[in-house]
Chains A and B, each alone.
Chain A
Amino acid sequence: MQAKKRYLTLFSAGACLILLFCFGGIQVPLSRGASRRDDRSLAGYRPGARWRHFPGSLQPFSPREQDDHNEHISPRQKRDANLGVYGGKRCRMESCFDFSMCKKNGFKVYVYPQQKGEKMSESYQNILSSIEGSMFYTPDPGQACLFVLSLDTLDRDQLSPQYVHNLKVKVQSLHLWNGGKNHIIFNLYSGTWPDYTEDLGFDIGLAMLAKASISTENFRPGFDVSIPLFSKEHPRTGGERGYLKHNTIPPYRKYMLVFKGKRYLTGIGSDTRNALYHVHNSEDVVLLTTCKHGKDWQKHKDARCDKDNAEYDKYDYREMLYNSTFCLVPRGRRLGSFRFLEALQAACVPVMLSNGWELPFSEIIDWNTAAVIGDERLLLQIPSTVRSIHQDKILSLRHQTQFLWEAYFNSVEKIVLTTLEIIQDRVLQHTSRSNLMWNSLPGGLFTLPQYSTYLGDFPFYYAKLGVKPYTKFTAIVHVVSPLVSQSQPVMKLLVAVAKSQYCAQVIVLWNCDKPLPAKHRWPVTSVPVIVIEGESKVISSRFLPYDTIPTDAVLSLDEDTVLSTTEVDFAFTVWLSFPDRIVGYPARSHFWDGNKERWGYTSKWTNDYSMVLTGAAIYHKYYHYLYTTYLPASLKGMVDQMSNCEDILMNFLVSSVSKLPPIKVTQKKQYKEPMMGQSARASRWADPDHFAQRQTCMNKFASWFGTMPLVHSQMRLDPVLFKDQVSILRKKYRDIERL
């Protein structure tokens, strides 16, 4: 009993004590008291009390009239003063760029002629030829707004074999240099071991930098352009597609996070990669480093090196890259690394671990939508951070990597054009792209703000904005033969098209050598018929972005096309669902001719198609603008000279923008009416050379695009009850079957 009592006493006393601690009765006042004393002694006031709204009347922060001191300095003087003050490291467009040079001729770029004996890397060669092939190029320095050196400035690492010596003198002796004003300098590497500074080793004056691995500290916002680091093998044009071909749900791949690369044992940038082993778990987080690089790595090697190296050799980089959800992109010696573009292409969401790196094209790309921006200081949190990212987010990040890769990064040309477009946006200011144009399909290079700054004027953003295209179309009839009779096919066509309930206007493009017929000879229609006399009478003029097109949709027609009102109506209703594609009747296909090693063109009846000819097709008006301004003069010239292939070129263009095939609507056996009583000019379709030319065109176009943009489709869209065994009276588009 005694023992029991004693235990009881002990127990109850213990319980008391435990209770005291448990409810924090002792602890809380102790710790809070400590911090309170501390703060009170410092500030003489009790913290911990919530901030509350102070009642009663307080003074407003600003007097009503705030700008009385305005009359002192003239705003003009103020602007001029900026020019003197903000140069060098503080350059901005306002202070270091001469806008007046771009006023007269728009945004034109001049490339200095290459001097004999100057060595030039292949990459720089590619940059220059991309500029020379672009719509910005001018050979006349007098017209130029921007100047590009022919001296290779890409590699400014003194220890590199590509390093160009005496650049300082060479640059100063250029007579157009003008202190670097309106010049842009491309650079991939700067500085060298051990500190890898961002200095180029010569005075760049007022020139802009398009530089890889640039730090936020040295980056002059709105003036410099951060470009990605790309390898010697990066293709000049065309470029590889992204790796993603289909979606996987759930989106997780074999690995969660991977990295494979060099580890620097000492010096700048070594910290992060040295610490990677902490988060490596050799299961789904695989971060591999090797010490084996450089000549004397054995000298510096540490205790982990041998183990790391062995592990490093066990994994295949490619295999990891394509089978991981996230890819770590830690800084190397410099801030940027090749891992970045590799991950982007592989649809492996990059996890940036490079503090202070101004990400490529940061001015226009919202990287949060395609990458995870980590913090080197929080390396240990990275695995839990990426694991917390929701499946939906992973899917959209992954899609965005592919979009960005193909829109801005997959060739040297894209990188260069993006750089130039960014600068052009700054120069033109009020006609520049909005964030949405840069960050959603089809991307800034295909969305030209000179066409319109309104997103709803483009075929790409209807869904994003929740708006619809205008529900009318404008027909453009391309006429090359004279009017001889009222029963000519073009007359019938005009009447049929004008009868469509969706027709807003008909434009007749008179590209015939004969003078314009009198007004009364055109059929009378309920919608206006406008006759435009082609100035140069070339075939490309059918794709000019005429101001007289008031609608989003254009119905493009040849003069000998046969089309009924019902067919026009149906094609247009289909187009409303696919406003970014060509919707129409005559379909053609392309194929790879293995024997001749070139692309072939066929008009045979096949089970699939990749083109819909513009003799009877509806598409968005914006493609007229793209055709006219985006395509190079060389291709358009070729088309005009042959009076052929304009329709193929249009299909190339639209598919390269949309990445999708055109849409063929209900079959019609005969589009062309045999020409009545053979006119002076025979139909171009009768010409035997015509077909051969089209083969040639295909290959010329494919080489300019750098790839074959056409996509095959096996689908034809018919009216819902088409040829179904129900009463014809129930069918809305019954006339289509009767033909």
Chain B
Amino acid sequence: MYASGKYSSRGPALIPRMKTKHRIYYITLFSVVLLGLIATGMFQFWPHSIESAADWTLDKRSVHDAPLVHLPVSSPIPERGDLSCRMHTCFDVYRCGYNPKNKIKVYIYPLQKFVDELGVPISSTGLSREYNDLLSAISDSDFYTDDVTRACLFIPSTDVLNQNSLRIRETAQALAMLPRWDKGMNHLLFNMLPGGPPDYNTALDVPRDRALLAGGGFSTWTYRQGYDVSIPVYSPLSADVELPERQPGPRRYFILSSQTAIHREYRAELERLKEENGEALLLLDKCSNLSQGAASARKRCCKGQVYDYPHILQESSFCVVLRGARLGQAALSDVLQAGCVPVILADSYILPFSEVLDWKRASVVIPEEKLSEMYTILKNIPHRQVEEMQRQARWFWEAYFSSMKAIGLTTLQIINDRIYPYAARTYEQWNNPPVVKWSSVNSPLFLPLIPPRAPGFTAVVLTYDRVESLFRVITEISKVPSLAKLLVVWNNQNKSPPEESLWPKIGVPLKVVRTKENKLSNRFFPYDEIETEAVLYFNYLYTYKMPGDIKNWVDAHMNCEDIAMNFLVANITGKAPIKVTPRKKFKCPECTAIDGLSLDQTHMVERSECINKFASVFGTMPLKVVEHRADPVLYKDDFPEKLKSFPNIGSL
């Protein structure tokens, strides 16, 4: 556009010197070009302007304005759903493609209102508040695409969260009518309340071909491991009630049962436990004097006493979550929110997000048969573990249960992790609450490898221009048997290192690296010349993984590179450094007079400053204080020096 603009602006300048005929010709030509440009612009913005207008109307539009679709009676019904489906058999991975971000793209079908031929809707509730929230959250996330051709996963806007509100056959027909249905391939359905009376299936009864099911209440027999996703049953109280997080610790009650629809057999069993163990247990039921409705959901009663629900859950260490007709219970969400450790009694239940969450750290699962032993089992759990579980329970709720958004995005992340397993989130990322993430240590090099002596070590000497002391250091260090290589980092750009013939002759390879700038950080650069492990890994971390602006600070102040390295290593390993054998003076005595660097008073002040600066960048003080030092086994022992491995150590 820019180039052509230039061309046309030159047009008028030419005009006076031309004949009229030519002038008309040029004016015409110019207008054509101009028109062409305008047309281009029009076409370019045409579709967008329409869409943005549509967005506006969409906001004003209500659910009732969704287009009506009539389902013919004979409309095809999908297959029931194949229990043997797995990602490699029923999921078309080619649609997800290879992308550098390792992120799947998710498309949401626009809302439609399906009715049968008589005009009766397929669902009694239509789009529910929760499903609306879920779809909105997905559409606001990085997963979302509005381009159906680029999508890897498709989510119908037909709400199947609660099977009870659905007409099974017609819902299935509606799904099959979706334009990209293709035997349900790469389609994801969200369902929280599956099955219906009398036998309550543990998975959605709507026939769905190969669609993936994110279901609440799967049993081990209906859950297709690695294909379906087990999700929680969302509790509406999550949004209505705010329960501040409580410090982990002992609570007023030991065990609390707050569910109202417990089978009488189990209630009898709980009563028996209460008789045996008394005050430690609190068994609540619904309040008989309150009318049904929203208010009753927030109250529980026991022997005429009224308790606020879910607040009362915060008063107990453990909270019972028993199966009802369905395996998945919304009470689980309330219990986690209260930071109460759930005691789950639901045989064969697949716990929510069990593919990634380590429930053993947040809950106690007891077989239904062992309900009577519950008290003894729980009493045997160490206090510290109970506290960790309380914290973990609350964290699970916050991260994965607290909203439809959390539930929806967790589900998508799990599917994403399956498609790009090499970029999957780690166990620690999924399971460690922020407080643990901060304080714990996860180094990629965790094996207790004791490296062989054979490769030895590489010595790295940083120098500016003091050739004399450099050569002395080189000569001294070359006597060390395990020295493999010597690397001199020449940090002076104005002066060349001495000629090769002038360097001391030593038995190991000596390399000189000239730097581009006089920076202290050059000392820790992971030079290719370093081949031994001893120095390299931390150099790599120093150069590429040092947080914040520490590296620049060090280079600007010409100080503290060693302190920065200590912070880094302590932070990664969680360990203190190891001081070896006592030598109080590291620099040769003659050199100290010249070497002003370490003695200068301001230097010390600056180093204290460094420590404060680094601690604030790291957000913590990773340095550890220890009182020990490593010496050779026979150090200073009354033993012939000749027989010691390191005889002269400490004598200086």
Least CB distance from A73 to B in Å reads: 7
Interface hit among B53-61, B465-473, B587-595: B53-61
Q: Which of A75, A378, A609 is most buried by chain B, counting CB atoms within 10 A of its CB?
A: A75
**CB <8 Å contact, A429 and B366:** yes
A282 to chain B, nearest CB (A): 23
Closest to B386 in A: A454
Distance between A625 CB and nearest chain B CB, rounded to angstroms: 14
In the complex the two chains form, is A23's CB within 8 Å of B136's CB?
Answer: no
**In this assembly, does A76 line the interface, its C-beta being within 8 Å of a C-beta of chain B?**
yes
CB-based nearest A residue for B35: A16
B645 at the interface (CB under 8 A from A): yes
B614 at the interface (CB under 8 A from A): no
Q: How large is the interface on A (under 10, 10 to 19, 20 to 34, 35 or more residues)?
A: 35 or more
B17 at the interface (CB under 8 A from A): no
Q: What are the residues of chain B within 8 A of A246 when measuring CB–CB?
A: 449, 451-452, 455, 533
Q: Contact between A454 and B347 (Cβ–Cβ < 8 Å)?
A: no
- Does A45 interact with chain B (Cβ within 8 Å)? yes
Evaluate contact between B384 and A719: CB separation under 8 angstroms.
no
Is there an interface contact between B44 and A49, defined as CB atoms closer than 8 Å?
no
Neighbouring A residues of B33 by C-beta, 8 Å? 12, 15-16
| Chain A, residue nearest B68 (CB) | A44
* Complex partner residue of A43 from B130, B135, B178, B323, CB under 8 angstroms: B178
The answer to the question of A261 belonging to the interface, with a C-beta cut-off of 8 Å to chain B, is no
A418 contacts B by Cβ under 8 Å: no
Residues of A within 8 A of B39 (CB): 20, 25
With A49-B54, A717-B628 as given contacts, are A466 and B439 in contact (CB-CB < 8 Å)? Answer: yes
With the chains together, A132 CA to B627 CA distance in Å? 48
Scoring B residues 418 to 448 as 1 if CB is less than 8 Å from chain A, else 0, what string do you get? 0001101011000100011011111011111
A570 touches B128 (CB 8 A): no
Known: A19-B36, A74-B265. A65 touches B128 (CB 8 A): no
Residues A463 and B451 in contact in the complex (CB < 8 Å), given A20-B36, A25-B44, A61-B131? no
Q: Do B422 and A399 touch (CB < 8 A)?
A: no
Q: What mask results when residues 368 to 410 of chain A are scored 1 for a CB within 8 Å of chain B, else 0?
A: 1100110111100100111011011101100100110000000
Binds A, one of B205-213, B324-332, B556-564: B324-332
Which of A54, A67, A369 interacts with B427 by CB under 8 Å? A369
| B631 touching A722, Cβ below 8 Å | yes
Cβ contact of A92, chosen from B51, B130, B220, B643, cutoff 8 A: B220
Q: Quick check: B261 and A249 within 8 Å, CB to CB?
A: no
In the complex, whether B29 has a CB less than 8 A from a CB of chain A is yes
Given the complex, which residues of B lie within 8 Å of A391, measured CB to CB? Answer: 540
Give complex CA distance A60, B325 in Å: 20
The answer on a CB contact under 8 Å between A249 and B293 is no
User: Is B108 touching A466 in the complex (CB atoms < 8 A)?
Assistant: no
A79 to B369, CA, bound (A): 9
Evaluate contact between B40 and A19: CB separation under 8 angstroms.
yes
B177 and A368 contacting across the interface, CB-CB below 8 Å: no
Q: Which residues of B contact A58 (CB under 8 A)?
A: 63, 126-129, 132
With most chain B CB atoms within 10 A of its CB, the pick from A71, A430, A607 is A430
Q: Does A302 contact B (CB under 8 A)?
A: no
Which residue from A17, A46, A717 sits with its C-beta under 8 Å from B110?
A46
The answer to whether B449 and A457 touch across the interface, beta carbons within 8 angstroms, is no
Interface residues of A in 1-28 (CB under 8 A from B): 5, 8-9, 12-13, 15-17, 19-20, 23-26, 28
- Complex Cα–Cα for A366 and B426 (A): 9
Chain B residue, CB-CB nearest to A77: B265
Shortest CB-to-CB span from A578 to chain B, Å, is: 9
Across-interface contacts of B126 in A (CB, < 8 A): 58-59
Output the least CB separation between A281 and chain B (Å). Answer: 18
Are B296 and A356 in contact, CB atoms less than 8 angstroms apart? no
Q: Are B88 and A378 in contact (CB under 8 A)?
A: no
Contact with A along B241-269 (1 / 0, CB 8 A): 00000000000000000001111111000
B629 touches A51 (CB 8 A): no
Q: Are B366 and A19 in contact (CB under 8 A)?
A: no
Find residues 709-736 in chain A having any chain B CB closer than 8 Å to their own CB.
711, 713-724, 732-733
Contacts of B537 in A (CB 8 A): 247, 249
Q: Is the CB of B69 within 8 A of A64?
A: no
Query: Is B133's CB under 8 angstroms from A53's CB?
Result: yes
Q: How far is the CA of A465 from the CA of B650 in the complex (A)?
A: 39
Cβ contact within 8 Å between B110 and A49: yes
The one of B192, B427, B536 in contact with A366, judged by C-beta atoms closer than 8 angstroms, is B427
Bound CA–CA A513/B411 (angstroms): 66
- B361: CB under 8 A from chain A? yes
Q: Which of B131, B147, B263 contacts A74 (CB 8 A)?
A: B263
> Given B86, B100, B627, B633, which contacts A664 in the complex, CB threshold below 8 Å?
B633
Q: Is B627 in contact with A573, judged by CB distance below 8 angstroms?
A: yes
Give A453 to B361 CA distance when docked, in angstroms: 9
Contacts A35-B149, A39-B179, A43-B179 given; indicate if A402 touches B447 (C-beta within 8 A).
yes
Minimal Cβ-Cβ distance residue in B for A58 = B129
Is there an interface contact between A62 and B162, defined as CB atoms closer than 8 Å? Answer: yes
The complex places the Cα of A720 from the Cα of B294 at a distance, in Å, of 68
Q: Identify the stretch in A200-208, A231-239, A293-301, A434-442 within 8 Å (CB) of chain B at 4 or more residues.
A: A434-442
**Minimal beta-carbon separation of A65 from chain B (angstroms):** 7
Please pick, from A26, A373, A464, A720, the residue contacting B628 in the complex, using a CB distance under 8 A: A720
A54-B63 contact, Cβ under 8 Å, with A372-B422, A718-B628: yes
Q: Which positions 626-677 of chain A face chain B at CB distance < 8 Å?
A: 658-660, 664-665, 667, 669
| Number of residues on chain B facing chain A (CB within 8 A) | 168
Cβ distance B542 to chain A, nearest Cβ, rounded Å: 12
Chain A residues with Cβ below 8 Å from B586 are none
Given A216-B86, A660-B448: A435 in contact with B358 (beta carbons within 8 A): yes
- Asked, given contacts A244-B449, A457-B384, A660-B448, whether A69 binds B197 with beta carbons under 8 Å apart, the answer is yes
Return chain A residues, CB-CB under 8 Å to B436.
465-466
Check if B388 sits within 8 Å of A607, measured CB to CB: no
Q: In whole angstroms, what is the CA distance A49 to B431 when docked?
A: 37
How far, in angstroms, from A217 to B225 measured CA to CA in the complex? Answer: 10
Q: Which residues of A contact B62 (CB under 8 A)?
A: 54-56
> Is the pair A665, B628 in contact by a Cβ cutoff of 8 Å?
yes
Cα A55 to Cα B138 with chains together (Å): 16
For the complex, give the distance between the alpha carbons of A69 and B165 in Å: 16
CB contact under 8 A between A94 and B347, given known A465-B436, A718-B628: yes
Residues from chain A with Cβ under 8 Å of B463 in the complex = none
Q: Does A311 reach chain B (CB closer than 8 Å)? A: no
Nearest neighbor of B84 in chain A, beta-carbon distance: A217
Considering only residues 609-651 of chain B, those with a C-beta below 8 Å from chain A are: 624, 626-639, 643-645, 650
* B-facing residues in A450-498 (Cβ within 8 Å): 452-457, 463-467
In the complex, chain B residues whose CB is within 8 Å of the CB of A455: 361, 388
Contacts of A74 in B (CB 8 A): 263, 265
Task: Return chain B residues, CB-CB under 8 Å to A596.
Answer: none
Contact with B along A127-157 (1 / 0, CB 8 A): 0000000000000000000000000000000
Interchain CA distance A148-B43 in the complex, whole Å: 76
Which of A16, A44, A432, A719 has its CB near the most chain B CB atoms (within 10 A)?
A16
- Chain B residues near A222: list those with CB within 8 A: 220
Residues of chain B lying within 8 A (CB to CB) of residue A56: 62-63
Q: Which 4 A-B pairs have the closest CB atoms?
A: A466-B439, A25-B43, A454-B385, A67-B261
What is A's interface to B at a CB cutoff of 8 Å? Answer: 5, 8-9, 12-13, 15-17, 19-20, 23-26, 28-29, 32, 35, 38-39, 42-62, 64-76, 79, 82, 86, 90, 92, 94, 99, 216-217, 221-222, 244-250, 355-356, 366, 368-369, 372-373, 375-378, 381, 384-386, 388-389, 391-393, 395-396, 399, 402-403, 429-430, 432-436, 439-441, 452-457, 463-467, 570, 573-574, 577, 587, 605-609, 658-660, 664-665, 667, 669, 711, 713-724, 732-733
Interface pairs (14), CB distance under 8 Å:
A23-B40, A25-B42, A49-B58, A49-B146, A64-B293, A66-B193, A217-B84, A356-B88, A433-B360, A454-B388, A466-B441, A716-B630, A720-B579, A723-B582
**7 extra interface residue pairs, beta carbon distance < 8 Å, beyond A16-B32, A45-B69, A455-B388:** A28-B47, A43-B112, A49-B146, A67-B324, A373-B422, A452-B385, A607-B643
